C-alpha cells in the first residue's frame, strides 16, 4: 500500500512503538494521521504540532470509545493496530486476572477496533489493516504465557480476517517483532531492537505489499526458523 497521501489511524500512538510509527508515517508522506491514545492529551506536543496529526481518544477495550473513534475518523485508509499490554507469568502460576487483561486488550480490543474500521475502509475503497503482533504469537516465550496466548489469538484473528476480506481489496498485514526497547520490556534482559528501526521496517513492509513483516533482525532469523520448522522455534524460545 502506498503510504504517500494515505489517512492512517494508529492505536497506542502516545509512546513506544506507536509514537515511532506516527513519525515514520509522516516521513513517508501520509496525508493525515489519527494519533490515538487512551488519553488523547498524552500525544506529544511536537507531534501535535504537525498539521497532519489529529490526536483522538481511543481505548480499544471500550466499545463506546471505539465507536466514537470510527465516527470521528471516517476517512481512514490504513488502520494500524499497535496498542497492547504485557503481563508476565508462567502458564501454571501466572495471575489469571492479568491473563484476562492481556486477552481483553491484545485480542478482543484489537478485534473490536478492527470490526469498527472495516466498514470505514470498505467505504473508502479498500486500504489496509496492519496489526502489530509478536514473534511470540507463533511460539511462546518462557514467563510470558498469557501475553503469548493473547497475541496468538490476535494472530489467528489476522488469518481469519485475511480470508474474510479476500475479495474486498483490503490488505491484511501482520507484523511479528522480536524484543523492542520500549517501556513494555523495561528492566528485562533481552535482545531489543530500536523502536525507530522496527517502525521503519513495518512501514516499509506495508509499502512493499508484504502480508507478513519481520521488522527486526532477531525476528527475521527466528521467522525463518518458524517457516521451516515451527517446533524448532518452540524449542528455541523455550530456552
Ligand atoms: N516491546 C516489545 O518488546 C514488543 C515486542 C513485540 C511486539 N510488541 C507489540 O508492540 C506494540 C506496542 O508495544 P510497545 O512496545 O510500544 O509497548 P508500550 O511502550 O508499553 O506501549 C503500549 C501502548 O499501548 C497503549 N495501550 C495499552 N492498552 C491500551 C488500550 N486499552 N487502548 C488503547 N491503547 C492502549 C499504551 O497506552 P497508555 O500510555 O495509555 O498505557 C501505549 O501507548 C504492542 O502491541 C506490543 O504487544 C512489543
Per DSSP, which regions of 11-126 are E strands? 32-37, 53-57, 78-81
The residue whose C-alpha atom lies closest to atom 34 belonging to ligand 1 is: 12
Which superfamily, per CATH, for 7-237? Answer: NAD(P)-binding Rossmann-like Domain (3.40.50.720)
Place of cell 470505514: 120
The pLDDT assigned to 96 comes to 98
Say what the pTM is.
Answer: 0.98
207 lines ligand 1 (CB under 6 A): no
The answer for residues whose C-beta is within 8 angstroms of residue 66's C-beta and 6 or more apart is 58, 59, 60, 112, 113, 116
Domain parsing of the chain, residue ranges: 7-237
Is the CB of 105 within 6 Å of ligand 1?
A: yes
Give strand ranges (E) for 96-151. Answer: 127-132
Mind giving me the DSSP string for 25-46? HHHTT-SEEEEEESSGGGS-HH
Per-residue tens of pLDDT for the chain, all 239 residues: 999 999 999 999 999 999 999 999 999 999 999 999 999 999 999 999 999 999 999 999 999 999 999 999 999 999 999 999 999 999 999 999 999 999 999 999 999 999 999 999 999 999 999 999 999 999 999 999 999 999 999 999 999 999 999 999 999 999 999 999 999 999 999 999 999 999 999 999 999 999 999 999 999 999 999 999 999 999 999 98
Q: Nearest-CA neighbor of 81 among 96, 66, 99?
A: 66
Amino acid at each position: 500500500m502506498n503510504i504517500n497521501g494515505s489517512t492512517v489511524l494508529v492505536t497506542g500512538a502516545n509512546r513506544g512503538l506507536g509514537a515511532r510509527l506516527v513519525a515514520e508515517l509522516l516521513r513517508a508522506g501520509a496525508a493525515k494521521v489519527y494519533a490515538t491514545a487512551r488519553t488523547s492529551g498524552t500525544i506529544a506536543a511536537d507531534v501535535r504540532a504537525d498539521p497532519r496529526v489529529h490526536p483522538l481518544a481511543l481505548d480499544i477495550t471500550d466499545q463506546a470509545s471505539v465507536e466514537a473513534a470510527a465516527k470521528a475518523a471516517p476517512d481512514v485508509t490504513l488502520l494500524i493496530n499497535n496498542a497492547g499490554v504485557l503481563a508476565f507469568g508462567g502458564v501454571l502460576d501466572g495471575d489469571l486476572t492479568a491473563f484476562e487483561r492481556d486477552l481483553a486488550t491484545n485480542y478482543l480490543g484489537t478485534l473490536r477496533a478492527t470490526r469498527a474500521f472495516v466498514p470505514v475502509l470498505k467505504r473508502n475503497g479498500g486500504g489496509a489493516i496492519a496489526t502489530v503482533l509478536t514473534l511470540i504469537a507463533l511460539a511462546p516465550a518462557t514467563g510470558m504465557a498469557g501475553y503469548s496466548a493473547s497475541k496468538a489469538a490476535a494472530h489467528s484473528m489476522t488469518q481469519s480476517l485475511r480470508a474474510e476480506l479476500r475479495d474486498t481489496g483490503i490488505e491484511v498485514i501482520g507484523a511479528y517483532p522480536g524484543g523492542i526497547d520500549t517501556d513494555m520490556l523495561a528492566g528485562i534482559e533481552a535482545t531489543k531492537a530500536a523502536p525507530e528501526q522496527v517502525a521503519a521496517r513495518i512501514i516499509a513492509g506495508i509499502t512493499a505489499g508484504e502480508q507478513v513483516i519481520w521488522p527486526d533482525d532477531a525476528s527475521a532469523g527466528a521467522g525463518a526458523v518458524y517457516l521451516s520448522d515451527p517446533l524448532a522455534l518452540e524449542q528455541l524460545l523455550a530456552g
